[in-house]
Chains A and B, each alone.
Chain A
Amino acid sequence: MNLLSTIEISSQLVTLMAALMLVVQLLMVVQRMLFTNIRLFAIQSLLLAGIATVVAYAHHAGHVYIVAVLTFIGKVLFLPWLLNRLVRRIQIHQEIEPLLNAPASMLVCGGLTLLGYVVARPFTSLERLGNNTLAVAITLLLTGFFLMINRRKAITQVLALLTIENGVMLAAVALTSYGMPLVVELGIFFDVMVAVMVLGILVYRIRESFASMDTSKLNQLKG
């Protein structure tokens, strides 16, 4: 095996990890258990942190390391812990009830992936690190939206929102070759953190008021 240059290896690594993020996302679409879903989200975030580390190493961009560390602490450790605690507290041990069944939603997500690839096609020829990750990022975004629509329970919609955020982060880290300015990254990061905490409280309140987490029941609200 000939020795590849650092850039080439890191480009391959970024592409591989992005593809694995996509695989994890698709697994989340078919997986029904809530705890497994949270664990899958943690794995996806771990891959994102890995991508950030590789990008930081390849471009010698110090502040991207901070992004990687923050992603690791926030999304791999803190948010899954928070969500797990929430799930325990509101005692929903039943499975997620999607609107479409698993094979159908898998096919829809396959179609969305195709759409993501087609949309990203004109931009993939750029000579950048992991230049194909834009397609994966767009796909994560689209399937995230689909997940949000497809699921009734509030907490799974929070998870879907988090995967959308992972997609945005992936695009930001992998495509702009030095990552976004640190201030913007930090802003987005804390935004999401606070959003999830607020949503967690909201989910708890919904559960308290309606004895259910089904967001379609919110239609019954009267002023």
Chain B
Amino acid sequence: MNLDPLALLLQTALLLLLAPLVSGVIKNWKAKLQNRRGPRIWQVYSDVLKFLRKDMVISEHASWVFSFAPYAVFITSLLVGLMVPMLTTQAPLSLFGGALAVIGLLALGRFALALAGLDPGSAFGGMGSSREMTLSAIAEPAMMLSIFTVAITAGSTDLSQIVQATQGPTWKLLNPTHALAFAALFIVLLAETGRIPVDNPATHLELTMIHEAMLLEYSGRYLAFMEWGASIKQLVLMTLLVNVFFPIGIASEATPAALGLSLLLYGLKLLALSAAVVLVETTNAKLRLFRVPDLLSAAFVLATLALLSTFLFQ
């Protein structure tokens, strides 16, 4: 098992370029479904480029944590992305860790984000941080349990091996434990990416916002990194959902034809998942903050049941 520099480079490029596109597609479709015209699909790229060019205004009370956090968020989500198999079954950085490292790195990024919200001492930032940590305390175990469910079926916590095992001849479409784990992970995806039943990143109302509240003090280049990092994290979680549970067409060897087919199917799967997210977002109302733990605990219990069922339904 060696590090392939070309694969590393390709997957990094794919992560960096595809992530804003997915966010843009979700925004655009959501607007279409609500009878609005909506931003162009490419709008997120323009936003990020514009933020990168702008000057930064930094609070004089902010310490080094404030300027360190955007890089931490960006780099952790990128590293997680390199550990998840996207086009081939072999993820470039899979030799550095499996599911445990993925969850740990995501938690590290969230920790940096929460600290950054607290650091400038604004009231909104601290509120956002406390909300984020409260919710992630329930969302994280649910995510861990649902990934472990799949890991037990595959007999390894290495994501590449999980995908290989689920793809092999013993692959079963109708596995009920996977249905339970998928449902749990989908709810976690909604919570982690700030989707509507949990959070609404499109508004700046203090009653509703979680993710935006932590970013309020950021501007310019740092904001660009934060937004880009958030969209990469979203892409990574979606990749986890589509590739671990529906590993159809992932290339097992790196020939151009196999990679092309894999890219096509991956894109289609991502679009389908985005459509599901958009549908959930438009048909549901934003939950009151105190009701969000109800939803997340449902995800947690579903994941627990999935884990228990692996021993029963086999």
- B107 contacts the other chain (CB 8 A): no
Q: Using Cβ atoms and an 8 Å threshold, which residues of chain A touch B313?
A: 15, 19, 132
B: interface residue count bin = 20 to 34
Candidates A2, A19, A101, A132; contact of B180 at CB < 8 Å: A19
What is the bound-complex CA distance between A16 and B174, given in angstroms?
6
Q: Does B298 contact A (CB under 8 A)?
A: yes
Measured CB to CB, the nearest residue on chain A to B300 is A106
Closest CB in chain B relative to A18 CB, distance in Å: 7
Known: A23-B302, A113-B308. A16 touches B179 (CB 8 A): yes
In the bound complex, CA of A26 to CA of B301 (Å):
9
Contact A110 B312 (CB under 8 A): no
A107/B308 contact (C-beta < 8 A), A1-B169, A19-B180, A19-B313 known: no
Q: Is A12 an interface residue (CB 8 A)?
A: yes
Contact of B297 among A20, A106, A114, A135 (CB under 8 A): A106
Q: Which residues of B contact A121 (CB under 8 A)?
A: 312
Q: Count residues on chain A whose CB falls below 8 Å from chain B CBs.
A: 29
Binary contact readout A98-124 vs B (1 if CB under 8 angstroms, 0 otherwise): 000111001101100110010001001
Asked if A23 and B297 sit within 8 Å, CB to CB, the answer is no
Report the bound CA distance from A181 to B174 in whole Å.
Answer: 29
> CA A88 – CA B300 in complex, angstroms?
34
A27 touches B298 (CB 8 A): yes
Once the chains are docked, how many angstroms separate the CA of A151 from the CA of B3?
Answer: 58
Contact A110–B304 (Cβ < 8 Å): yes
Beyond A1-B171, A18-B176, A19-B313, whether A102 also contacts B305 by CB under 8 A is: no
Complex interface: chain B residues within 8 A of A110 (CB): 301, 304-305
Known: A103-B294, A106-B297, A109-B301. Is A124-B312 also a contact (CB below 8 A)? yes
User: Hey, what's the 0/1 contact readout for B280-314 against A, CB within 8 Å counting as 1?
Assistant: 00000000000101110110111011001100110
Give every chain B residue within 8 A of A18 (Cβ-Cβ). 176
Chain B nearest CB: distance from A45 CB in Å? 19
B294 & A102 in contact (Cβ 8 Å cutoff): yes
* Shortest distance between the CB of A94 and any CB in chain B (Å): 15
Q: Which residues of B contact A (CB under 8 A)?
A: 169, 171-172, 174-177, 179-180, 183, 291, 293-295, 297-298, 300-302, 304-305, 308-309, 312-313
Known A-B contacts: A1-B171, A13-B174. Give 6 more (CB < 8 A): A16-B175, A16-B179, A19-B176, A26-B298, A117-B309, A135-B312
What is the interface of chain A, defined by CB distance below 8 A to chain B?
A: 1-2, 9, 12-13, 15-16, 18-20, 22-23, 26-27, 30, 101-103, 106-107, 109-110, 113-114, 117, 121, 124, 132, 135
